[in-house]
């Protein structure tokens, strides 16, 4: 931007060979190739004040300035970039999700089950990276068989997560299996809306798919904190809140 006004400061540009060219400017922007930029605001230059503003063309990135004194009268400025994240640490712009929703024998879409769009919203809220996930709703027989075969426990449980990433850098891929009769029974016993309980278990499964566990108190505390904050951001109550006695 160039303004020939009394408040404009003189801007001197130097090429690679040290040749100078002088112009008048109100502000100047240095645009970096990856989208980062720093704008030098000269509007208060008459008072000896120069302001710096860091920006990024990618709305998912927050730009910042890192300043390091080089001497008593010189400073180096680096334009930084960090991904915008939610309070739980997930990206503000949700990662890509490839989702397959399946229904076991005797289980039909509807009839108290969450719609695909709602499932996608719940999963995206709990993802820290792109993921390929299958959510399968099953009856007691299939739920019991899976729990017995893979966990050695001869009863159906509310949710099972089969995560397929073997290394930390592997893409997130998992099957999340929910046993509908168990989920419905738990919701009644705990006095929770059925939708809220499904939301909690699907978020819980998504965290397991990304390597979160609750084998010890520290792991459980971290996982429960993320689940609680995620559910509350989605508009549901704290899933671990203890109901007052009747």
Tokens linked to 59? 């709305």
214 assigned ligand-binding residue = yes
Cβ neighbours around 161 below 10 Å, total: 18
DSSP string of 166-204, one letter each residue: -STTSPEEEEEEEEHHHHHHHHHHHT--HHHHHHHHHHH
Say how far residue 15 (Cα) sits from the centre of its chain: 43
Q: Is residue 204 a known part of a binding site?
A: yes
To the question of whether residue 200 is assigned a binding role by annotation, the answer is: no
> For residue 104, what are the CA distances in angstroms to 115, 161, 184, 187?
16, 16, 16, 20
Q: Please tell me whether residue 78 adopts helix, strand or coil conformation.
A: strand
Binding-site residues for Zn(2+), please?
204, 208, 214
Binding-site residues, please?
204, 208, 214
């Amino acid at each position: 931007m160039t303004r020939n006004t009394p408040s404009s400061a003189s801007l001197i540009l130097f090429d690679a060979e040290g040749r100078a060219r002088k112009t008048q400017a109100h502000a100047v922007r240095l645009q970096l190739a990856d989208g980062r930029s720093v704008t030098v605001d000269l509007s208060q230059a008459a008072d000896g004040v120069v302001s710096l503003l860091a920006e990024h063309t990618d709305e998912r990135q927050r730009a910042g300035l890192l300043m390091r004194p080089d001497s008593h009268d010189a400073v180096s400025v680096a334009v930084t970039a960090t991904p915008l994240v939610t309070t739980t640490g997930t990206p503000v712009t949700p990662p890509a999700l490839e989702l397959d929703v399946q229904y076991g024998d005797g289980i039909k879409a509807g009839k108290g089950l969450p719609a695909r769009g709602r499932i996608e919203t719940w999963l995206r809220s709990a993802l820290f990276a792109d993921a390929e996930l299958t959510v399968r709703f099953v009856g007691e027989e299939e739920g019991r068989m899976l729990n017995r075969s893979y966990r050695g426990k001869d009863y159906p449980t509310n949710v099972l997560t089969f995560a397929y990433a073997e290394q930390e850098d592997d893409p997130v891929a998992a099957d999340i299996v929910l046993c509908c009769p168990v989920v419905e029974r738990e919701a009644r016993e705990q006095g929770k809306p059925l939708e809220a309980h499904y939301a909690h278990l699907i978020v819980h499964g998504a965290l397991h798919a990304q390597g979160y566990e609750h084998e010890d108190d520290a792991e459980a505390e971290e996982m429960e904190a993320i689940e609680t904050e995620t559910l509350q951001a989605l508009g549901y109550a704290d899933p671990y809140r203890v109901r007052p006695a009747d």
